[in-house]
Amino acid sequence: MNWEELSKELTIQTDSKIVLLVIDGLGGIPVRGKTELEAAETRNLDRLALQGTCGLTDPVLMGITPGSGPAHLGLFGYDPLRHVLGRGILEALGSDVEVKEGDLVARGNFATLKDGLITDRRAGRIPTSECERLCGLLNAALAGRKDPEITVFAGKEHRFVVRFRTSGLADALTDADPQKDGKPPIPTAPLAPEAAKASAVVNAFLTDAIQILKAEPVANAALLRGFSVHPSIPRMPDLYKLRPAGIASYPMYKGLAKLLGMTTYKVGPETADLFDTLEAHFAEHDFFYVHYKKTDAAGEDGNYAAKVAAIEEIDAFIPRLEALKPDVLVVTADHSTPAALHGHSWHPNPFLLVSPTALPDETGVFTERACGGGLLGRFPSVNAMPLMLAHAGKLKKYGA
């Protein structure tokens, strides 16, 4: 019996409330002797560390660098090696894109192409309004095509979703993204014979996009990754008997929340909007996933100072969480994004749990190294959900 099967047997519905604050990409590695978290002034998080119990989590396995999808699945108690999600479906659902059976969707980036090389995979993080204009250009140029029907949906900044609608599309495709600047664009390739048609359709679109955008000075190419059809995955209300809510401003994280059966809300772009939404709906749910993105964005940009500032910004909102008096409060990350590495990494995530039923340890500050000495030790992220449910009194005894 695995955890998913066991959870259906052991979970019970109660009025107790759990808040999970995910500070995206929080973990780092030292620069001039300190990680970003160690350099930040985090009086509120440090105070929580004194009250609670701490540890470090590995999203998948030690040494494995996870994408955002598997990293989050682990936190919600889903084995990321068993449930493999394409990022495209998460972006699509989070952007309220209709995805029918047989549709193929992908997460896209506008990028800068110069002299045959991708010089900026994010096109300078163009404003969302510019992304909307560019998506309009693509859709206008593609409007006459009915087989395949291709539609592009604007996301935030440089991100978009593309939906391919025709028969016979499979998602066993490699990413059409070199993943690093300074490399030429790459086509997608089928990973199975049944994906050959999808590969041809996607590559034709990528070629057309370069032609359509050729006059653009910055965003003149498209990169695609996370190809996906609509997956089948158990929902959190069915597994855990919860009334969960997902509070996130970025489409991908809203999409994941929707896919797992969480109620989602329209959330503004500011950090305060996350907590306004949480407070407004606190009486309606018993599990709250709150997602904070700025730390991850700064880490991906290699901006150490901006990541320190983002950590300090979220720290200032911790008293608003405390004022709600949840029965269980967890602060952690989905994965690490060290500014020194300009991207996701395999380093473990600091984990902090505060509850009246938690045994406080001697962790005096909320940092990677301090959490490593906490009572929870180092454990897989999939264990976080049973811990939260247990401390909330939502798990029955196992066995006689």
Compute φ and ψ for 41, nearest 5 degrees.
-90, 110
**72 plus 106 within the same structural domain:** no
Last residue of one domain, picked from the residues 212, 228, 244: 228
Please report the pLDDT score of residue 92 as a whole number: 87
Distance CA 339, CA 36 (A): 8
> What residues are paired with 53 via a beta bridge?
353
Same domain, 131 and 101: yes
pLDDT of residue 395: 97
Number of domains in the chain: 2
Please report the pLDDT score of residue 371 as a whole number: 97
Kindly compute the dihedral angle of the four CA atoms of residues 397, 384, 21, 323, in this order, to the nearest 10 degrees. 30
From 228, 245, 263, give the residue that closes a domain. 228
Pinpoint the alpha helices (H) of 236-383: 236-240, 251-259, 271-280, 294-300, 304-315, 318-323, 368-371
Does 74 lie in the same domain as 102? no
Asked whether residue 239 falls in the same domain as residue 360, the answer is yes
pLDDT of residue 231: 83
Residue 400: inside a domain, yes or no?
A: no
Say if 399 falls within a structural domain: no
Q: What is the CATH number of the domain that holds 249?
A: 3.40.720.10
Residues of the chain with pLDDT under 70: none
Q: What is the pLDDT of residue 93?
A: 85
Q: Is 397 a member of any domain?
A: no
State whether residue 330 is helix, strand or coil.
strand
- The pTM of the full predicted model, rounded to 2 decimals, is 0.81
Q: Are residues 295 and 370 in the same domain?
A: yes
Contact 42, 311 (CB under 8 A): yes
Residues forming a β-bridge with 153 = 161
Instruction: Give the range of the structural domain holding residue 67, as residue numbers without chain letter.
Output: 3-84+234-391
> What pLDDT, on the 0 to 100 scale, is given for residue 110?
96
Boundary (domain end) residue, out of 199, 228, 257: 228
Buried b (16+ CB within 10 A) or exposed e, 370-383: bbbebebeeeebbb
CA distances from 206 to 131, 154, 362 (A): 16, 16, 54
138 in the same domain as 27 = no
* Beta strands 18-23; 287-292: pairing state: parallel
